[in-house]
Amino acid sequence: MAFQHFGVAFQPFGAAFQSFEVAFQSFGMVSHRSPPSAITACHGASWFPKAQRRGSPQAAAVASWARIFLNFTSHTWFWNVIQNEFKSGNTDLDGCIRLLEKMQITFDEDHLKHIFKKTIDKHSGDIISMDDFRAIYRALVHRPEFEELFKAYSIDGNILPDGQLLKFLAKEQFQTEADETTALEIIMKYEPIDEVRKRRQMSFEGFIRYMNSDECSIFKSQHRSVYQDMTQPLCDYFISSSHNTYLIADQLMGPSHLWGYTSALLKGCRCLEIDCWDGHNNEPIVYHGHTLTSKIPFRSVIHVIDKYAFMSSSYPLVLSLENHCSPKQQEVMASCLKTILGDKLLSSPLGGETDMTQLPSPEALKFKVLIKNKKVGTLEQSMLRMEEDSVGEAEEVSDSDAQSDDDNSEDMSPVRPKSPSKRKSDRRSSPPPQKKPKVRKTKIALALSDLVVYTKSQKFVGFEHSLQHQKCWENNSIGESQARRLAKVSAPQFIAHTTRFITRIYPKGSRMKSSNYNPQEFWNIGCQMVALNFQTPGTYMELQDGKFLDNGGCGYVLKPAFLRDLNTTFTPRNVGAYSKPMSLSIRLISGHQLPPSAMSKTNKADPMVQIEIYGVPEDQARKKSSVVKSNALCPKWNETFSFNIQVPELAMIRFCVEDEVSLVNKEFLGQYTLPVMSLNTGYRNIPLISKDGTRLEPASLFAHVWYY
């Protein structure tokens, strides 16, 4: 019965097919005995007799019957895919979901349920026919904006030959390097209908799949793999860095968890922080000291790091130790690092070189784990001790309390305003003599100290002091508040410093809820390790994720040349000759299956899009679209936004979709952030990402991007 029903649907197509064959016979192109392949091959062929080519009545007739044939093959493909689900003649919502999954169509369940309900409301019951399913499929998949583009390049509105696809790639997608092979590869990859694919053509179904693919993403496909020069010194790269990596919530009472390390490593993070304290039974523990955060064994942390260290990136991983352990437990730490990490652990300079003038490259340090910690003596002394047994030996290193790289006191104490009388007395009296900073001495186990090679933690005293005394393998950690002040008053010196030495920035201690600062202001001055709280979602973490999408997500991004040049005069507030202005135009066309509002009982939202530029102060910009009422399924904007960007090499662009709940209240729906230099031109889909960093498939925006 079901098969008969299915066959009835094909009767008009069968008749059309016979008429099509007769038409070709009448033109003397296909004999009555010609195989179907001959009919398939003839459409669009260049061997038509001259009298029968484009413009002649015969050619018009052939083109007309060719359209019928294409419709036939398209219908055949569609029904062949779905027929098994309709053996009983109808199907329900679960069957509808199974079919869409079988056809590899991603969908939002809220939107599907809404369309399904609208379909069954037309007739009683909760089941649908094949025709109903086709209507649902079209509502989810066939987008008018895609159809308009397709028909602009299609010869007959039904098919896109490889030559026309090539024109589309060159003219609309600005893929000037594309050739016939490129077009054919796209057809072979995305065209689902065999008969069309064999003829080196693309149907609308194939075009939809291509336009929704990563090849048409706004993010350049070339930037999805490592493409930058990885042979420069380590200090020439921005390095993806995490602060308090062990925390998965706030830094006062939140839990410490191994997942903090796993998730950071899977994101491609290349600098992890480990706060180490003495634990019971001579086993060091990791937690946020002097707080109610929970504790995890140091040994377990290293096991997790060993497992995931190079799963997402093969480039060097830095373990930044905040070491509060006694020498005895420091030796346990050293033993753990050596025995668990084995050959991954870098414990001596490459080639035994101790008198270096520049750091090795990420390429030279592939698959190596580097320890960042205080160090006793020089690299040469460490090498000399390698043959000796230094178990039980420790030496003191002295630090200034004011300069401790894990001391956040500068940010903890609120500044109280002085009374007018107090200010007057201050003016009259001479300033009190400056206190000599107290010297704090810390014991470092030689076994741990000797594991520090290229990333020695060195107290930051001042730019001039570093220039005169600091070695290339000594790194500084500077709190965000101090770094912000230095960037404001000494930007040229700060940038000169970061061209020579790895500089790590960390959040101020008063951020009890583990909030983040804006990393862009420190990338602007070349700071390599701008450490953020990975566990805290928000705009600044989205900037971090977007920044390190670049260069294959390997966790290392080559700094612009003007932030690597030892003689640079660039500053963020005075870009001068380093400006390479970019005029960027973005036409926001539409949205597709956006997440419905939390306030909606169905699939509705009132979406609006914010486009933001982050970069040097002159480039900061924010523009908003209009609000589309009650449409999260397929909102249309067709609005153009223009930006003038002076330093595109440092600029980031963020697309944020919000639901306008009221004039003052907006609900986040999704976002996507990427470097401006990674923007693809042409018609592009913009995937959306949730607050916690997961892809919101199939939610996306559709835009046309152009710049010069």
The residues annotated as belonging to the active site are 243, 288
Token pair of 323 as six digits: 């070491």
One-letter amino acid at 524 equals N
d(CA 240, CA 531): 8
Cis peptide before 255 (omega within 30 of 0): no
Report the run of H or E that residue 211 belongs to, with start and end.
helix 204-211
In the structure encoding, which two tokens stand for residue 137, read together? 């499929």
Check: CB of residue 515 under 8 Å from CB of residue 533. yes
Contact in structure between 390 and 334 (CB atoms under 8 Å) = no
* Element spanning 37, H or E: helix 36-42
Q: Are 655 and 186 in contact (CB under 8 A)?
A: no
- Write down the H helix ranges in 562-635: none
Output the CA torsion 309→225→503→318 (10° steps): 10
Q: Name the nearest CA neighbour of 672 among 654, 685, 658, 660.
A: 654
C-alpha to C-alpha distance for 161 and 180, rounded to whole angstroms: 11
Q: Amino acid identity of 583?
A: S
CB 100 within 8 Å of CB 137: yes
10 Å CB burial of residue 441 (0-12, 13-18, 19+) is exposed
Closest CA to 153 of 140, 162, 141: 162
25 phi/psi in degrees, rounded to 5: -60, -40
- CA atoms 589, 694, 532, 509: torsion sign: positive
Cα 217 from Cα 226, distance rounded (Å): 18
Q: Got the DSSP string for 77-125?
A: HHHHHHGGGGTTS-B-HHHHHHHHHHTT----HHHHHHHHHHHHTTSSS
- Distance of alpha carbon 79 from alpha carbon 6, whole angstroms: 8
CA distance 243 to 322: 11
Cα–Cα distance between 237 and 360 in angstroms, integer? Answer: 12
**169 token code pair:** 């790639």
The span from the first CA to the last CA of the chain, in angstroms, equals 62
